Amino acid sequence: MAQDASPAPSTLSGALAAWGIVGLTVATVLLGALLPGHRPAAVSPATDSACLEWSDGCQVCQRLAEGPACSLPGIACTPGEPRCLRHGG
């Protein structure tokens, strides 16, 4: 009986699976180390105490002593990104 010198198919597929897992783990660790971290969330003008007046393009809000006061939006207005219009000194 002649013996086959090639490894058994189950051993070969197990080795390939192990190397695949190692490669995936290394790639995940490298991505985690090389990609930039999370940036802190932008502060909303409504919660930024230095912003005295802000708008989203539809309504204008002002920070008063009693609290924020906002105008009424127009009927067909589509609000945009809120931005600070006036900062306090």
DSSP secondary structure code for residue 55 in this structure: E
- Mean pLDDT of the residues in the chain: 85
% of the chain beyond a pLDDT of 70: 87
pTM, two decimals, is 0.52
Dig out the tokens for 30 from the structure: 């490298």
Quick: pLDDT tens for 29-68.
888 888 887 776 667 888 888 999 999 999 999 999 999 9
The torsion angles phi and psi of 28, rounded to 5 degrees, stand at: -65, -45
Q: Is the pLDDT of residue 5 over 80?
A: no
Lowest-pLDDT range of 5-19, 44-58, 64-78? 5-19
Q: Which long-range contacts (CB under 8 A, 24 or more apart) does 29-34 make?
A: none
pLDDT-derived band at 71, boundaries 50, 70, 90: very high
Cα torsion angle, 56, 62, 68, 73, sign? negative
What are the boundaries of each domain within the chain?
Answer: 51-87
Least-confidence region, from 1-5, 9-13, 37-41, 44-48: 1-5
